[in-house]
Amino acid sequence: MRILSGIQPTSKVHLGNYIGAISLWEEELKKHENATGIFFIADYHAITVPHDPKQLKEAIYFILATYLAAGFNPKKHIIFVQSHNPDHTEAAWIIQTQTPIGWLERMTQYKDKRKKLKNEGKSIPTGLLTYPALMAADILLYDTDIVPVGEDQRQHLEYTREIAQRINNTYGNVFKLPTAQIRKFGAKIMDLSNPTKKMSKSASSYKGVIFVTDSNDKIYQKFKRAVTDNINKVQYNPQEQPGISNLIVILSLVTNKPIENIVDEYSHYNYAKFKEIVAQAVISYIEPLRAKIQEYLAHKDMLETSMKEGVTKAREISTPKLTILKRKLGYMTI
Ligand code: ADP
Ligand code: TRP
């Protein structure tokens, strides 16, 4: 059983990434004791929008340090950097050629990011369109069973299954069909200052984005200024009270308590007091993690050893799979 996922090194990790993705990876590994976790840093995905070469390396170290700080053991699991394994881009080329272009053009993430770039007067990189083919390669090369991700990746996972099926139907069985694992609550943490928008690294302002590197004081301030409503009752009602409902979900996940219990406990609190409770809980959740990340970042040689060992183990799985794919398509493999 293999559980696989990745994060793009586009900037620091935020609470949405942590709750929606990384903490879900931990839960999935706990559920499936004998499973191997394959967690990578999707650095080729990170250049599908304009990027700063000076920051890429630091962002890669940071994500790797976050994986280790989260407790994924690199001896037991496989942790590596996507660009260190050329099998991904090679398989992505083949997968692209098998993908009808309309399948990619209708992707919501593509349409959103395209619109944003257009509004900024920037050109649209072709890689932004073909991005899901690389993601499908990431997943399919490892005969992955489960892919734990946030809600925004659901459509990419559906595409991955469709393209795997199409290739299997055309050339004979090559790929295993993966299953997406998405949280019922917490798969889409909202921006605190704009609770109808997803918390994201690409937000235009970071007023409502909690980064795992934020100081306690900053976290506290961001929660204090979180946008709420005039209803003045702590209850779970995402349509009419998106801000408060988002805070309830966050508190539920960082304290590991069901939503109903949170609502029972805090329904009589005023918003200011409730925000304080949530801020404190998030600080207690992030503080140890932040310290461990800093510790790992102080040992870059160790991070480098771990990424080298990781990619060797990754290639033991991906290279034979790529060979099978190429043979099925009629290539000579030597
Ligand atoms: P971002 O969208 O902030 O650039 P990524 O695209 O690198 O983040 O996402 C990494 C993982 O975190 C993915 O599994 C994604 O679905 C998840 N994720 C991102 N934002 C959120 C969020 N606001 N709430 C829950 N999960 C999220
Ligand atoms: N596209 C994902 C994101 O933006 C990151 C990613 C790349 C990924 N390849 C993947 C996630 C494979 C899961 C599986 O969040």
pLDDT for the residue numbered 203 = 82
Q: Which residues line ligand 1 (CB under 6 A)?
A: 7-8, 10, 16-17, 20-21, 149-150, 152-153, 187-189, 198-202
Count other C-beta atoms under 10 Å from residue 286's C-beta.
21
- Give me the CATH code for the 216-294 domain, please: 1.10.240.10
Answer whether 262's CB lies under 8 Å from 252's CB. Answer: yes
Of the given ranges (84-88, 105-109, 177-181, 330-334), which has the lowest mean pLDDT? 330-334
Is the pLDDT reported for residue 292 higher than 90? yes
pLDDT in tens, 312-323: 999 999 999 999
Residues of the chain with CATH 3.40.50.620: 2-188+300-328
Answer whether 19's CB lies under 8 Å from 189's CB. Answer: yes
- What is the reported pTM? 0.95
- Quote the ligand 1 centre to 309 CA distance (angstroms): 26
Is 46 a pocket residue for ligand 2 (Cβ < 6 Å)?
A: no
Q: How far apart are CA 185 and CA 199, in angstroms?
A: 14
- Quote the ligand 1 centre to 151 CA distance (angstroms): 8
Q: How far apart are CA 138 and CA 136, in angstroms?
A: 5
Residues of the chain with CATH 1.10.240.10: 216-294
If you classify domain 2-188+300-328 with CATH, what class do you get?
alpha beta
What is the C-alpha end-to-end distance of the chain, expressed in Å? Answer: 30
Average confidence (pLDDT) over 170-185? 96
Sheet containing 36-41: order of strands: 78-81, 36-41, 2-7, 146-148, 179-181
Is 8 a pocket residue for ligand 2 (Cβ < 6 Å)?
A: yes
Q: What are the catalytic residues?
A: 113, 198, 201
- Quote the ligand 1 centre to 323 CA distance (angstroms): 32
Is the pLDDT reported for residue 234 higher than 90? yes
pLDDT in tens, 39-69: 999 999 999 999 999 999 999 999 999 999 9
